[in-house]
Structure 1
């Protein structure tokens, strides 16, 4: 059980790194953000999950958190 929490944490960290790599490869976060939004709508994703749910069960960061980080990093 503890290993799954740790595994999810590492997976979420890697997902942020992958988002940054994709943004740098494409040259802008715009297309990645658009794709994340479309996937969330198609998959009926939860945009605002409870932080404890994310910590316990999510292997990927919530979409709104990913978009926020992408936008913040895009401005720098």
Structure 2
């Protein structure tokens, strides 16, 4: 039971992380500073930029850095188009 609840909790946490990134990008009007910060943190923390999807599903409460950056870049691009 704990395993299933943990999976759901981690999925919810990842969803909230994307929402927080989107909120920050829209509120400040720029996603680039957050993208730069994520890149610096990943270098400093020696993050695995290409974790296996199953590992992410089972263990991570945050989305992988490159997926967060891609989502932020999509927000930045959509703001330019509009």
Classify the TM-score, shorter chain: over 0.9
Deviations 1:11-48 (A, max 9, x none): 00000000001111221110000000011111111101
Runs of 4+ in 1 over 2 A off after TM superposition: none
Q: Number of matched residues?
A: 76
Larger Rg: 2
Gaps of at least 5 residues in structure 1 are: none
RMSD of aligned residue pairs (Cα, Å): 0.7
Counterpart position of 1:30: 32
Counterpart position of 1:47: 49
| Structure 2 contact 25–31 (Cα < 8 Å) conserved | yes
Counterpart position of 2:23: 21
